[in-house]
Amino acid sequence: MPDRIYNFSPGPATLPQEVLKQASKDIVNFNDKGIGLIELSHRSKEFMAVADEAESLVRELLEVPDNYKVLFLQGGASTQFAMIPMNLLGADQKGTYLNTGTWAKKAIKEANIIAQADVAYSSEDTTFNHVPAQGDYSVADDSEYLYFVTNNTIYGTQFKDMPVSDKMLIADMSSDILSRKIDISKFGIIFAGAQKNMGPAGVTVVIIREDLLDRAPETLPTMLRYKTHADKGSMFNTPPCFAIYCVGLVCKWVKANGGVEAMAKMDAEKAAILYDMIDSTDFYKGHAQQDSRSLMNVTFNLPSPELETQFIAEAAAQGLDGLKGHRSIGGCRASIYNAFPKQGVLDLVAFMQEFEKNNS
Ligand SMILES: Cc1ncc(COP(=O)(O)O)c(C=O)c1O
């Protein structure tokens, strides 16, 4: 068996090897204290220090302003689809949504259960192959916020520039957080399931403007209120200790490798290698329109579904794993988040060239 294959999975996804090695040590014996990391009480001073460090690194890397809380929650990014309207909207209020794929649609569904989702744009009729440009939609005056998904993991599309609105922005950044600089002050809430660019599954990072903490209706259960978690430093109940610890390690790795801007540069380089390959031939066809292409998830098709199946199997046999596209669009998808090595992209391109030669 190889030591390590290239894992193109969309999430849980490749983590830095340094992080895996450190975690495997600390799980058994944390900081040589004779106790495993995942045995520590979440209220012990050792774990509190771990959680504090993870939070301060998220703040530092993303330049989170002082009037925002950083929360570590459970329930996955999907719970945020409901928590956002639950905490921000009364039953007769609405939020505006840009429907750019499966994850946006799921958020729209939840918003409509609780209040009203005003869908200002949809790219569904072109299988979500692009995101809207500024001016392709408008946000109603009586809307409370503009909600969008910065990177559409399944379709391989990404907002290059964040939408601009005089309403507060709410963003699902599950699949591109820590991959680029953002002006957090334009946002009410940013959230991200950690399992793509931040760590393992099990924790969702929520960055929320403090004045929004008091908007929840009286009837909202305690665990579903952002304020509950904000008031207790994400320790109202037992937090996902291991996942929080890993987010801290990943943040340290990002910092040691130049921070978010260095990640953005590296990510752009890696993605360009793959898109250049796709554009150099008719054998491979990118799913996303050029101006909407994601730097995180590169989606493409081959001339037939049979060739795609063969491609995915042969690639896997060569240690290029996880290239199968999401079941809703099929085809192939290479997820190349921050921690995915450039060499893996180069190897994939070499494999693609060889496969084309043998099968066209
Ligand atoms: C952009 C985006 N949002 C939300 C989710 C759902 O995340 P979770 O499984 O943590 O609920 C995913 C999962 O792939 C995603 O890619």
* CATH for 45: 3.40.640.10
Q: Is residue 4 part of a domain?
A: no
Q: Is the CB of 103 under 6 A from ligand 1?
A: yes
* pLDDT value, residue 2: 73
130 & 155 share domain: yes
Q: Is the CB of 193 under 6 A from ligand 1?
A: yes
67 & 187 share domain: yes
Q: Is residue 10 part of a domain?
A: no
Matching residue, tokens 């290059």: 160
Task: For residue 1, name the pLDDT band (cuts at 50, 70, 90).
Answer: low
- Look up the domain containing 72 and give its range: 18-256
H or E stretch covering 192: strand 187-193
Q: Kindly report the protein residue whose alpha carbon is nearest to atom 2 of ligand 1.
A: 174
Range 32-39 average pLDDT: 96
% of the chain surpassing 70 pLDDT = 100
Q: Is the CB of 153 under 6 A from ligand 1?
A: yes
Q: Is the CB of 76 under 6 A from ligand 1?
A: yes
Of the three residues 212, 241, 256, the one that is the final residue of a domain is 256
124 & 22 share domain: yes
User: What's the whole-number average pLDDT of the chain?
Assistant: 97
Of the three residues 196, 223, 256, the one that is the final residue of a domain is 256
Task: For residue 3, name the pLDDT band (cuts at 50, 70, 90).
Answer: confident
Per-residue exposure over 271-295, b if at least 16 CB sit within 10 Å of its own CB, e if not: beebbebbeeeebbebbbeeebbbb
Q: Is the pLDDT assigned to residue 147 strictly greater than 80? A: yes
117 & 168 share domain: yes
List, as one string, the DSSP characters of 258-324: THHHHHHHHHHHHHHHHHHHHHT-SSSEESS-GGGB-SSEEEEE-SSHHHHHHHHHHHHHTTEE--B
Q: Is 186 helix (H, G, I), strand (E, B) or coil?
A: helix
Q: Is residue 291 part of a domain?
A: yes
Range 22-38 average pLDDT: 97
pTM: 0.98
238 & 308 share domain: no
Q: Is residue 284 part of a domain?
A: yes
3-state helix, strand, coil in the chain (%, to 5): 40, 20, 40
Range 130-152 average pLDDT: 97
Task: Return the bridge partners of 187, or none.
Answer: 169
Of the three residues 229, 256, 283, the one that is the final residue of a domain is 256
Range 62-74 average pLDDT: 98
228 & 178 share domain: yes
Whole-number Å distance, alpha carbon 314 to ligand 1 midpoint, is 28
Ligand 1 atom closest to 193 (CA): 10
